[in-house]
Amino acid sequence: MATSSADATIPIGMFFEDYDTELASTRKLLERFPDEHADWKPHEKSTTLAQLATHVAELPQFGAAIATKPEWVIGVDNFTRVKGRTRDEILAIHDRSAEIGREALASLDLASLEHEWKMRKGDMVFINGRRGPLLRRMLFSHIAHHRGQLSVYYRMLGVPVPGMYGASADEK
């Protein structure tokens, strides 16, 4: 289907209709963040609970970078990482990041979803591909992956895990 210049801006719901639903599930998980376990980690090679939860909270900003920049050059385009340590700080990071991502996705046009995007450091390319599929993978799939990790941390700490796609064992 051809697109005219009158169709230049696409509504977020056309390709990313699950954005708000996915981020509502993410927020529900972050709302259970136990401040008293912020420094806990299940293994010496793992990140702390606070680091993982903060990463989950800020990932929509990474989606915004994919949506708005032609590439991400590590060491040049780094964004300032925020360190959340409490439930309230992590929720604030999530809410701000979700809005940044929402605005970036809403600004896309159909043609820009086909543009190549890459993340590199110097000549070393880490990620390369069409913007649309990369947004799905690096925004939605990446968040779901880390939400899964976070839910395992919670389970190990005895924190009730909310359902993401229906009731969890803690909600039955």
Asked if the model's pLDDT at residue 77 lies above 90, the reply is no
Are 166 and 36 contacting, i.e. CB atoms less than 8 angstroms apart?
Answer: no
pLDDT in tens, 100-158: 999 999 888 888 888 999 999 999 999 999 999 999 998 899 999 999 999 999 999 99
Q: Which pTM does this prediction carry? A: 0.89
CA angle 90, 94, 96 (to 5 degrees): 115
Asked if the model's pLDDT at residue 10 lies above 90, the reply is no
Asked if the model's pLDDT at residue 79 lies above 70, the reply is no
- Give how far Cα 128 sits from Cα of 61, 73, 78, 120, Å: 18, 12, 17, 9
User: Which residue has 């799939």 as its token pair?
Assistant: 141
Q: What domains does the chain contain, in order, with CATH numbers?
A: 12-156 (1.20.120.450)
Tokens representing residue 141 in the block: 């799939």
> φ, ψ for residue 73 (rounded to 5)?
-105, 110
How far, in Å, CA of 107 to CA of 19, rounded? 14
How far, in Å, CA of 159 to CA of 35, rounded? 11
How far, in Å, CA of 112 to CA of 15, rounded? 13
